[in-house]
A = this chain, B = another copy of it.
Amino acid sequence: MRTNTCGELSLKNKGEKVTLCGWIQRMRDMGGMTFLDLRDRYGITQIVFNMETNATLCEQVREYGRECVIGVTGTVAERSNKNPKLATGEIEILASDVHLYNRSKTPPFTIEENSDGGDELRMKYRYLDLRRPNVRANMELRHRLGMLIRNYMAGQGFLEIETPFLIKSTPEGARDFVVPSRMNAGEFYALPQSPQTFKQLLMVSGYDKYFQIVRCFRDEDLRADRQPEFTQLDCEMSFVEHDDILDMFEGLVRHLFSAEKGIEVGALPRITYREAMDNYGSDKPDIRFEMKFACLKEAFPAGKFGVFDTAEWVGGIVASGCAEYTRKQLDELTDFVKRPQIGASGLVWIKCATDGTYKSSIDKFYTPDDLAAVAAATRAQAGDLILIMAGADEKTKEQLGTLRLHVADLLGLRRSDDYKPLWVIDFPLLEWNEDDKRFYAKHHPFTSPKPEHIPLLDTHPASVNANAYDMVINGVEVGGGSIRIHDRTLQKKMFSILGFSDEEAQKQFGFLMDAFEYGAPPHGGIAFGFDRLASLFGGAESIRDFIAFPKNNSGRDVMIDSPSTISDDQLKELNLKTTA
């Protein structure tokens, strides 16, 4: 149907007779001439129709609208006014024949980089939204990343092995999507939240290095930018320790940055969970900028300011060059930390003026020398602004961590083309849930404790560290994993700490614990959020536009109008009744 695409012709092809197919991007009627931009996946080529030489054809084309699908035959000619922004900008096609393949109604929004369609409309007509060049670029990026990952992993000796989608519901973790079984009345499959147990079984089976780019499912109440189905790069290795896995997957990420973006990210810093919390107030710190916390409890002389005296933790960050912030700007920062999402009670500031003096919201409690000492403790320079928060240890650090990101945004320190990946290691194994009065696994129940912490499981479970690690890029957790338990007894103990009865553990994970009795090797792995990785590489905040057909925040696909009711016959066959 075509000899070439709309993205490849150049002066080299001058004089050739070609046929292109595509969509009409736009048409400019210049009296004697009609210029038509023909678009396909590969680019845009200008087509020229001449009223003098072929009036019929020119008139025929003039009645076509935007987004009509046509085929054009013509001769490649040099353009008089070249367009250096366009790959094909040196040439145009002098059309001799046109075939109309399909007409188009006027699209409900413009098919351009910056569309005039709102989110709702774009999602309803996603097939039109996907025509926009930026969305297409995202899909192409995602495809390339998938290829790069697969070829790298295969090159490292990993096998891609597909694991089942119709598995078994396990109440631990997030909520499962379930699938009623028609052939086994009253029973249900579950869709996998991850292939976790299957990849561990593959290690028991001796597969040694497994990976898979695989869809996963979680029936959670959707927050912004969460999808009920998402894609994961899932990996597992045998006969490895903690650092073997970090080395392997930091190699992968280095390769991706190098191959896709030409960026050499170098060796990844490895910081502990404790360091991350203490320095950045986050277990996924953004280290594109410094702005580490200064611990100021000691720096402030005691007995002067009750709030600081009684606070469990007092800490500050330095906003470089912000000593001139106005009252309004400072109030905005205070309002920011007082928002319910953050929930701080207030914010203290110290301005380090360029003349060497200090001005502060707590002037009345401390002497200039006190403030100078605090400034020294924060390593603030003349011209800087110190922002200080106080309160309960972890909570205040998290609040200050959120402020740190906000200030960095204000200062333009979080450039989307700057990438600073790192590892966060040594996570706590368990998290106490005050509502349920029980421990939950911070990672998942298969994560191994640090070997040296195993004795603490009985006496101080809350202080046991996990043999776990997260990869963080620019403040986003893109991957996480752990060395797994490969010992039946330890796994049983772990289930018991998590409040499973022996029967429950056996019913839900008996197959895995049984497998551990037949020679389970030491193993560990990691999983990366592939949608998130793609959006990071695309320099975007949202994963939505890196998924071809995403769902909205109610889990609906508004384009196909799903979920939807099913017929009574279907329900009957499945032995189900709805109570809605």
User: Which A residues form the contact surface with B (CB < 8 A)?
Assistant: 1-2, 5, 21-23, 39-42, 67-69, 71, 101-105, 107, 125-128, 130-131, 136, 139-140, 142-143, 146-147, 150-151, 154, 159-169, 171, 175-191, 197-198, 201-202, 204-209, 215, 217, 219, 221-222, 228-229, 231, 238-241, 244, 486-487, 510-511, 515-522, 547-549, 551, 554-557, 559-567, 570, 572-580
List of B residues within 8 angstroms of A131 by Cβ: 205-206
25 contacts between A and B (CB under 8 A): A40-B206, A41-B206, A67-B518, A102-B516, A127-B511, A127-B518, A130-B205, A131-B205, A140-B159, A143-B160, A162-B231, A164-B551, A165-B229, A168-B563, A168-B564, A176-B570, A181-B555, A183-B221, A184-B556, A186-B565, A187-B563, A189-B563, A511-B560, A575-B578, A577-B577
Known contacts being A130-B202, A178-B570, is A560 close to B240, with CB within 8 Å?
A: no
On whether the beta carbons of B184 and A563 are closer than 8 Å, the reply is yes
On whether the beta carbons of A580 and B185 are closer than 8 Å, the reply is yes
On whether the beta carbons of B105 and A517 are closer than 8 Å, the reply is yes
On whether the beta carbons of B68 and A127 are closer than 8 Å, the reply is no
Most buried by B among A201, A202, A231, A551: A201
List of B residues within 8 angstroms of A1 by Cβ: 239-241, 244, 522
On whether the beta carbons of B167 and A562 are closer than 8 Å, the reply is yes
On whether the beta carbons of A127 and B204 are closer than 8 Å, the reply is yes
List of B residues within 8 angstroms of A239 by Cβ: 1-2, 21, 71
On whether the beta carbons of B171 and A217 are closer than 8 Å, the reply is no
Which 4 residue pairs are nearest across A and B when measured between Cβ atoms? Answer: A186-B580, A104-B519, A185-B580, A130-B205
Instruction: Give A561 Cβ to nearest chain B Cβ, in Å.
Output: 7
Q: Give the contacting residue for A160; candidates B126, B147, B215, B228; CB below 8 A.
A: B147
Give bound CA distance, A178 to B563, whole Å: 10
Known contacts being A1-B239, A147-B154, A229-B166, is A555 close to B104, with CB within 8 Å?
A: no
Q: Give the contacting residue for A169; candidates B42, B68, B198, B570; CB below 8 A.
A: B570
Give bound CA distance, A180 to B516, whole Å: 34
Most buried by B among A179, A517, A557: A179
Instruction: Give A509 Cβ to nearest chain B Cβ, in Å.
Output: 9
List of B residues within 8 angstroms of A564 by Cβ: 168-169, 187-188
On whether the beta carbons of A579 and B578 are closer than 8 Å, the reply is no
Give bound CA distance, A1 to B240, whole Å: 6
Instruction: Give A100 Cβ to nearest chain B Cβ, in Å.
Output: 10
* Chain A facing B: main interface SS: loop
Can you name the residue of chain B whose Cβ is closest to the Cβ of A169? B566
Instruction: Give A11 Cβ to nearest chain B Cβ, in Å.
Output: 23
On whether the beta carbons of B577 and A519 are closer than 8 Å, the reply is no
List of B residues within 8 angstroms of A5 by Cβ: 208
On whether the beta carbons of A207 and B519 are closer than 8 Å, the reply is no
Can you name the residue of chain B whose Cβ is closest to the Cβ of A132? B205
Give bound CA distance, A407 to B217, whole Å: 49
Instruction: Give A108 Cβ to nearest chain B Cβ, in Å.
Output: 9
Give bound CA distance, A176 to B563, whole Å: 13
Known contacts being A183-B554, A188-B565, A563-B188, is A162 close to B548, with CB within 8 Å?
A: yes
Give bound CA distance, A540 to B41, whole Å: 40
On whether the beta carbons of B577 and A547 are closer than 8 Å, the reply is no
Instruction: Give A544 Cβ to nearest chain B Cβ, in Å.
Output: 13
Known contacts being A178-B179, A178-B180, is A577 close to B579, with CB within 8 Å?
A: yes
Can you name the residue of chain B whose Cβ is closest to the Cβ of A214? B215
List of B residues within 8 angstroms of A163 by Cβ: 548-549
Q: Given contact pairs A164-B557, A177-B189, enumerate 8 new A-B contacts (beta carbons under 8 Å).
A: A23-B521, A67-B519, A127-B204, A147-B160, A164-B229, A165-B165, A169-B570, A177-B179
Can you name the residue of chain B whose Cβ is closest to the Cβ of A580? B186
Instruction: Give A109 Cβ to nearest chain B Cβ, in Å.
Output: 11
Instruction: Give A270 Cβ to nearest chain B Cβ, in Å.
Output: 20
Can you name the residue of chain B whose Cβ is closest to the Cβ of A516? B102
Give bound CA distance, A565 to B186, whole Å: 6
List of B residues within 8 angstroms of A186 by Cβ: 565, 578, 580
Give bound CA distance, A39 to B563, whole Å: 49
Give bound CA distance, A521 to B71, whole Å: 10
On whether the beta carbons of A208 and B40 are closer than 8 Å, the reply is yes
Can you name the residue of chain B whose Cβ is closest to the Cβ of A515? B127
Known contacts being A102-B487, A229-B165, is A23 close to B519, with CB within 8 Å?
A: yes
Can you name the residue of chain B whose Cβ is closest to the Cβ of A574? B178
On whether the beta carbons of B136 and A206 are closer than 8 Å, the reply is yes
Instruction: Give A41 Cβ to nearest chain B Cβ, in Å.
Output: 4
List of B residues within 8 angstroms of A572 by Cβ: 579
Known contacts being A1-B240, A187-B565, is A205 close to B580, with CB within 8 Å?
A: no
Can you name the residue of chain B whose Cβ is closest to the Cβ of A550? B164
Instruction: Give A216 Cβ to nearest chain B Cβ, in Å.
Output: 10
Can you name the residue of chain B whose Cβ is closest to the Cβ of A221? B183
Instruction: Give A165 Cβ to nearest chain B Cβ, in Å.
Output: 5
List of B residues within 8 angstroms of A184 by Cβ: 554-556, 563
Instruction: Give A111 Cβ to nearest chain B Cβ, in Å.
Output: 9
On whether the beta carbons of A522 and B188 are closer than 8 Å, the reply is no
